[in-house]
Structure 1
Amino acid sequence: MQIHRDMGRSLTGTVIITGGNGSLGSEIAVAIAKTQPFTHLLLTARHPTRQDVRDLITRIRLIGPRSIEVLGLDLTDLRSVTSFVQRTIERVRSKEIPPISNLIHSAAIASYTVDELTLDGYDPVYQTNCVAPFFLTVGLLEAFRAGDGTPDGGAKVIYIGCSAASYGRLDFFDRNQGRDTRPPGTILSRKEGNIRFGSSKLLASVALYALRRSLASTDNIALDLFTLDPGGMVGESRLRTGAPLSVRIAHQTRSGLGPILRMVSRSSINKTSVPAKVIAKVAFRRVAVEQAERYFILDSEYEAASVLPTLRDGPAMQSQLVHMMGRVEVGSQFKGSPESTSTAPTTY
């Protein structure tokens, strides 16, 4: 197995970025490559041999010698996630790669049509944006860097949120077990699509904050988890087919699928490189695991519960954690092979 690595000293940690070839994920990778030369970048992509992946590797190579690889990961297939988790843990154990210092959940999809369910039986928007990120986080717990009380101790999980969470409902995917009874291909209204997408983002944030609370009750894992809303962005949309024209236009000018959920006004529209730099900075902020639950909107920091009021409801949080852990338990029944093509590295 080869990894593009030409470093003069030992690597300090591994950063995993899902959707590493996406418009935001690729800029996050570039921003980290510029500021953290001794970090191993492990990017995931559904199709790691695409030209956009090759172009990204070229950009990073021009920055200087870096350790980077791209692995295939399909978030709509929990067997792929399981295989990725197993292989990553094995590689950390064998010291082939350093422990995970950051896991950045950048991959996400939106859809404005009724979709076929995934092989795991979930709505693909729900699975990609919520179930798979939670599954991946829990599965990789053993591979995260342990805290040692130093300013560089501990690890971070950053979930890339969105103002669309303001549309979300915690019970949205509970009805009919998340299955839309209309025929696949049925066009959804902008409102329906927004609620569906927003609910997936809201559920993921709440579940990860609930996991954070559970981990904080023990001293075994020094791990901080929080949501970061990148704000309005200009960039190529990753929307699935069927998006209404009004939504496609909105995505060309804003990241939000609707009104902005903001503690302060953030009306400016930025290139993806702007929030990417913020994410890279927050990811490597020199502090130990923090006690406060935080929610970031670009570089502004807030108490998480002030943005997500559900976090003040302890029983609802516990219920969501139990529910998601049940998803993980079911998903873990799919034993992926570490040698499967989904985790074979693409080297350049």
Structure 2
Amino acid sequence: MAGTIIITGANGSIAVHAVQQLLSKAPDSTLILTVRNISATDPNTRRLGEAVNQFPKSNVVIRRLDLANLKDVHKFAETIAAEVAQEKLPPLAAIICNAFHWNMIAAPELTEDGREKTMQVNHVSHAALILRLLGSFGPRGGRLVLFTSDCHYPGRNSLEVYPPGLPDDLDGLIRADPDTDKRGRGFQNYANSKLAILMWTYALNRYLERDEQFNKISAVAIDPGSIADSRALRTNTPATLSHTQRFVLQPLWPMLRLIMPNLRPSIDAGADIADIALNRTHAGERGYLNLMMPGPSSEESLNSIKQQKIWVKTAEWAGITRENTALQGGFQSHCPY
């Protein structure tokens, strides 16, 4: 499936392997790889560059994108859309929303847009990117790959202190209310972002399916499993978590998989993501995949009324209106971006 594939957080643990798989399996594709820091002095971006350099004939561009800044997201989307319209880029074939943020060691963070950072980076900005770029997909459609987690399901994740759940006041999800339990609330913010992603994906698919222009685009929210070698376990986390990864998960993961079937290395997850994005696995599948198997997701995530509420609120938070997206989804007017 030739076309342009966008990957956010492309220098992440899973993403680097997904990039290699995409370049190997779909060498005719154009890859737009976004990172916050494009400098080779960043060790993660340097690793990404080394992976790309293994495919010297590939058509790959690494671009800067800060998901903690909605103006940056909208500008990036406008640039991509213009390049597709001017045939400088092939039509989009997939968007892989890999970038993420969490913080379990500090007070809640607000972005420049005044939104809680975990929710904005993981969910709101990706929603803005997708909705701004749907019109840049080709007539054959394509794939939207989003990332959820078992932590969207109450009681499923060992790091859970407070269960995930949508508050009655949805704006509470983007506020950074102070709390003394940084670890517990930080993880709850992350879990809520994964719940919001999943519920929004269900709503998105309903709008895509009933729109003749976009019904060949399918959206999947995938739980890639617990990644034993993910650098996320060493970023904004308590020392106990990084020590667990170093001394338990990484050296013992082949044995631990006997009792923890969702524990896996990033290279395996990267291969899955590439196959999903290329429509080679679960072709046209929509909704939730748990380690490449369809659902079921949590009871709350399946509540269609709540799905619609998070759909409407997400558009508001993301600055999406009927003027700046090609999808007909009941959006309001007057975008601030």
TM-score bracket for the superposition, by shorter chain length: 0.7 to 0.9
TM-score by length of 1: 0.78
Q: Is the Cα contact below 8 Å between 2:16 and 2:48 reproduced in 1?
A: yes
Q: Work out whether residues 168 and 201 of structure 1, in 8 Å CA contact, stay in contact via their aligned partners in 2.
A: no
Per-residue Cα deviation, 1:105-158 (whole angstroms, up to 9, x for no partner): 1100110222341111100011001111111111111112223xxxxxx21001
**Against the structure 1 CA distance between its residues 207 and 254, is the aligned structure 2 distance closer, same or farther, given a 3 Å change threshold?**
farther
Q: Is the 8 A contact 1:206 1:311 kept in 2?
A: yes
Q: For residues 81 and 101 of structure 1, what CA distance do their matches in structure 2 show? A: 19
Q: Which amino acid aligns with 1:67?
A: N
Corresponding position of 1:125: 118
Q: Cα gap change, 1:80/1:172 in structure 2, threshold over 3 Å: closer, same or farther?
A: farther
Given the alignment of the two structures, is residue 36 of structure 1 paired with residue 26 of structure 2, yes or no?
Answer: yes
Please state how far the C-alpha of 1:35 moved relative to its aligned partner. Answer: 1.1
Which of 143, 162, 169 does residue 149 from structure 2 map onto? 162
Give, in whole Å, the separation in 1 of the partners of 2:15 and 2:61: 14
Matches for 1:204-283 after TM superposition, within 5 Å:
204-221=197-214, 222-238=216-232, 243-249=237-243, 267=261, 269-283=263-277
Alignment partners' CA distance in 1, 2:111 and 2:151: 23
| Structure 2 counterpart of 1:341 | none
Query: Distance between the aligned counterparts of 2:86 and 2:2, measured in 1?
Result: 15
Partners of 2:289 and 2:233 in 1: how far apart? Answer: 24
Secondary structure class of the residue paired with 1:156: strand
**1:290-331 per-position Cα deviation (integer Å, ceiling 9, x unaligned):** 3x63422223x214xx21333532222222211112223369
Asked if 1:138 corresponds to 2:131, the answer is: yes
| SS in structure 2 at match of 1:214 | helix
Secondary structure at 2:319 match in 1? helix
* Partner of residue 178 from structure 1, selected from 164, 174, 178: 174
* Residue 285 of structure 1 pairs with residue 275 of structure 2: no
- 1:178 maps to amino acid: I
In the TM superposition, residue 190 of structure 1 has moved relative to its aligned partner by 3.1
AA aligned opposite 1:14: T
TM-score using structure 2 length: 0.81
Q: 1:181 to 1:321 in 2, by over 3 A?
A: closer
- Aligned residues of 1:190 and 1:247 also touching (Cα < 8 A): no
Alignment partner of 2:54: what SS?
A: helix
Give the number of the structure with larger relative contact order, counting CA–CA contacts within 8 Å between residues 6 or more apart.
Answer: 1
1:1-40 equivalences in 2 (<5 Å):
12-40=2-30
2:78, 2:148 → 1: CA distance?
26
Structure 2: gaps (5+ residues): 154-162, 251-258, 325-334
Judge conservation of contact 2:205–2:287 (CA < 8 Å) in 1. Answer: no
SS at match of 1:32: helix
Letter of the 2:20 counterpart: V
Indicate which of 46, 51, 54 corresponds to 1:59.
Answer: 51
Q: Which amino acid aligns with 1:326?
A: E
CA distance in 1, matches of 2:317, 2:53: 39
Displacement after TM superposition at 1:251 (Å) = 5.5
Closer, same or farther: CA 160–94 of 1 in aligned 2, 3 Å: same
Q: 2:40 is matched with which residue: 19, 40, 50?
A: 50
The 3-state SS of whatever aligns with 1:63 is: coil
Q: What is the deviation of 1:288?
A: 9.9
Partner residue in 2 for 1:151: none
Give 1:143's aligned amino acid.
S
In 1, Cα distance between equivalents of 2:123 and 2:169: 11
Which residue in 1 is equivalent to 2:102? 110
**1:315 maps to which residue?**
305
Structure 1 Cα separation of the partners of residues 94 and 12 of structure 2: 18
Q: 1:214 to 1:54 in 2, by over 3 A?
A: same
> Structure 1: how far apart are the matches of 2:234 and 2:264?
22
Question: What's the RMSD between the two structures over aligned residues?
Answer: 2.8
Deviation at 1:53, TM superposition (A): 2.2
Identical amino acids, percent of aligned pairs: 22
Residue in structure 2 matched with residue 82 of structure 1 by the alignment: 74
